[in-house]
Amino acid sequence: MSARVLIVIPTFNESRHIGALLDALLVEAEALDARVVVADGGSTDDTLSIVESLALGTSRIAIAHNRRRIQSAAINLAVEQFGDKVEYLVRVDAHGAYPPDYCRALVAEAEERRVASIVVPMVTVGRARFQRAVAAAAGDSPPEEQSAVDARALAALSEAVLSGDVQQVAALLAPGATLWSDGGGKAHAALRPVEGPEKVARFLLGIASRPGAVLSPARINGGPGVLVHEDGVLTTAATLRASAEGILGLFFVRNPDKLPA
């Protein structure tokens, strides 16, 4: 089938949410003449079986297998496979909560204003401990305060990493601490998020102990960060997000296309 609107949902292990979300989006799809594409990054739970079961009853649901497992690749894949003659693209998060007319409202706004893109603010809400901490950091801290919190956390983390003590590093991390690494397929990086204080601590110490590795503080995207040079070559730009609970997340960019020259 051809469709006027493409609704894309990147997924990975979203079995708890995908069924209800697709039920709601099918109402939108009928109203908009839309196709809903679930771009799955290799889920190991029941996500795909739920989607496949729902797709049996309608031609408006399709699956794309996102082997690169990053969200931007999921969007590009969906457009490549199902974007012919599509006028509008709507990206939807699998675990988000949306108004029942969310997609219709976006398309109507785009048509009324005659614009190419509509960007909407999202409210961060968390249920698990880690998610609540991220939501609190994202929603309640002014940028300058958050930057100061992150800077203090980074200074303490740098000192702990230089000590080489796993437990000292882990003590600075929140219980749900997670490290994400982006190699862009062009540099070695963790294929999946590194989760948990001890695993993250060992990962950090492994990087710092590499022969020829030099860590130096830097301002990255307006906030505190660290640049890692190995044998004089910049290999990593690292930032973090912290709260009173500890360091919540670390973000490593190793893709050479995204690193400063």
Average pLDDT, the chain: 86
Residues 6+ apart with CB under 8 A from 2: 84, 85
Quickly state the pLDDT bin for 52 (edges 50, 70, 90). Answer: very high
CA atoms of 114 and 112, how far apart (whole Å): 6
Least confident of 3-7, 30-34, 136-140: 136-140
User: What structural domains and CATH numbers belong to the chain?
Assistant: 5-113 (3.90.550.10), 141-258 (3.10.450.50)
pLDDT of residue 134: 45
pLDDT of residue 48: 96
pLDDT digits (tens, 9 = 90+) for 149-195: 889 999 999 999 988 999 999 999 998 899 998 887 888 888 788 99
pLDDT digits (tens, 9 = 90+) for 90-139: 999 888 778 889 999 999 988 887 766 666 655 545 554 444 444 544 55
Residues 6+ apart with CB under 8 A from 211: none
Q: Between 223 and 14, name the one with better pLDDT.
A: 14
Average of pLDDT values for 64-86?
A: 89
Nearest to 124 by CA among 110, 114, 138: 138
pLDDT at position 221 over 80: no
DSSP of 37-102:
EEEES--SSSHHHHHHHHHTT-TTEEEEE-TT-SHHHHHHHHHHHH-TT--EEEE--TT----TTH
**Most confident region among 38-47, 139-148, 240-249 by mean pLDDT:** 38-47
